[in-house]
Amino acid sequence: MSSSRKVYFYTLGCRVNQYETDATRELFTSAGYEETDDPSKAQVCVVNTCTVTAEADRKSGQRLRRLSRENPDAVIVAMGCASQMADGVVDADIVISNKDRNNIIRAIEEFKGAKTHKTQHVRPEVTRKDDYHDFGTVVSPEGSRAFMKIEDGCDNFCSYCIIPFARGRVASRSRESILNEARSLAASGFREIIVSGIEVCSYGEDRGEGIESLLGVLNDIASVEGISRIRIGSMEPSSLTSKFIEGIASIDKLCPHFHLSLQSGSDTVLKRMNRKYDSSLYLEKVRLLREAFPTMKLTTDIICGFPGETDEEFEETLEFVKEAGLSKIHVFPYSVREGTRAASMPQVPGNVAKQRVNILLDHSSLAEASYAKSLVGKDLEVLIETEREDYYTGYCREYVMTHVYVKDGIKHKPGDIITVKAVSNDGAILIC
């Protein structure tokens, strides 16, 4: 196999998409391709697209068009949610559907073998129910930490979200496959695993199991020697039970950092969003988590300018984030997704949504700094990720970026876990 064949990847969207690009990269490597970050040198350009917002859709199409224009001889491949959902023509030679990702190399060979001019392949079918598409063991690193996908799809059908249409229903990875990946990651030197998926708390639902099967997965990973820390990705408040919280509290390796999806702190907006909880249920889950993890960092996502969101409803959200003690908020302006129920609801003007985004972002910056400050004086366990001239960087278990100045002359390397005292904070960064 010639090693001169080059592939270029461009990934939009979430960490699950990044994981899937990493899995696809492994397929190309096995087929003898080398990765290049210069698309003009590539024989194949793969764009892993995203459709979570109209902007993500636009950027996906823009990138495909640009690659086709600048690189007319390369095979342009579109994969991921935007191309899965696209109606009509996608600006690519090949569109790989989500369930066909393992056949990407074959599809490229067939396309080249056809020796035709570039042709548009038909839109792939969006599956309503499918088995988990297992990539086998994938190494998707974030420094000394590795991201692991355990589930795909979502059954919740929130009124604004296109994802269940793009990714289909919940499909869970087998525990055996998860454990194999955890062992491989440990053998490759990774110390922390971030367990995630599209709706991670739905893990096992497709097999008729409840959230205890997610607990089983976390315990499986915790049993792997070499893995020192486990983090759970975004969780749905309605799925958390007191038994599950008790269960995770007994996993020493589990980090006290939870991302509990909120979207709005107003009950009337939550209802229109078709979320499965109200503000009091959310607060109750926060109380249970805090009882089990008193110093936990709590982060969330909020959408501003959801259809019909009034000033009063936004005020309710603002009050709620203070009451819940949220330490960081990922804020998004609402984005219309055709085909969802919210698309036909009365829309909030874009400038109003933007103002609300800025108000929440300002609050989030203050809350993040205040949380970092609450850890000053405490001994923290930091996983070293990078070495700078006179300090190291890494996250503590509570997921605060930490700069560690080592005065005793001891050398550390990425992957080391050290215990250090936080002496001050610089905004949201801790200094040790």
Q: Which is nearer to ligand SF4, 157 or 405 (CB)?
A: 157
Q: Least Å distance between CB 198 and ligand SF4?
A: 5
Is there a contact between 378 and 353 (Cβ–Cβ < 8 Å)?
no
Residue 273 and residue 306 in contact, taking contact as beta carbons nearer than 8 Å: yes
For residues 18 and 12, what is the distance between their CA atoms, to the nearest angstrom?
Answer: 8
User: Which of 93-101, 161-169, 189-197, 363-371 is the region at the interface with ligand SF4 (rule: CB under 6 A)?
Assistant: 161-169
Backbone phi, psi, residue 224, to 5°: -80, 120
Q: Which is nearer to ligand SF4, 64 or 154 (CB)?
A: 154
Our CB check for ligand SF4 shows the closer of 21 and 340 to be: 340
Which of helix, strand or coil describes residue 426? strand
Strands (E), 249-389: 257-259, 297-304, 328-333, 379-387
Place of tokens 């001050």: 424
Single residue of 57, 199, 205, 206 touching ligand SF4 by CB under 6 A: 199
157 forms part of the interface with ligand SF4 (CB under 6 A): yes
- Assess contact for 309 and 270: CB atoms under 8 A: no
Whether 389 and 425 have beta carbons less than 8 Å apart is answered as no
Joined together, the tokens standing for residue 304 give 């501003």
CB of 14 to ligand SF4, least distance (A): 10
User: Measured over all CA atoms, what is the biggest interatomic distance in the chain, rounded to whole angstroms?
Assistant: 67
Closest distance to ligand SF4 from the beta carbon of 161 (Å): 3
How many chain residues bind ligand SF4 (CB under 6 A)? 9
Q: Rule CB under 6 A: say whether 161 interacts with ligand SF4.
A: yes
Cβ distance to ligand SF4 smaller for residue 163 or 326: 163
The nearer residue to ligand SF4, 267 or 385, going by C-beta atoms, is 267
Q: Which of 24, 97, 98, 156 binds ligand SF4 (CB under 6 A)?
A: 156
Q: Which residue, chain included where needed, has tokens 């007191």? A: 242
- Could you give the string, one character per residue 337-376, with x where binding to ligand SF4 holds by CB under 6 A and - elsewhere? ----------------------------------------
**Nearest approach, Cβ of residue 164 and ligand SF4 (Å):** 5
Which DSSP category does 128 fall into?
Answer: S
- Binding part of the chain for ligand SF4, among 149-157, 185-193, 332-340, 418-426 by CB under 6 A, reads 149-157
**Distances from the Cα of 80 to the Cα of 15, 84, 101, 428, angstroms:** 12, 6, 9, 33
Q: Does 228 bind ligand SF4 (CB under 6 A)?
A: no
- State which residue, 20 or 398, has the beta carbon closest to ligand SF4: 20
* Residue 239 near residue 230, CB atoms below 8 Å: no
327/332 Cα distance (integer angstroms): 16
25: left (phi over 0), alpha (psi -120 to 50) or beta: alpha
Q: Is 304 in the site for ligand SF4 (CB under 6 A)?
A: no
Q: Which of 158, 255, 357, 380 touches ligand SF4 (CB under 6 A)?
A: 158
198 binds ligand SF4 (CB under 6 A): yes
Residue 265 C-beta: closest distance to ligand SF4, Å: 16
Three-state DSSP class for 69? helix
Positions in the binding site for ligand SF4 (CB under 6 A):
154, 156-158, 161, 163-164, 198-199
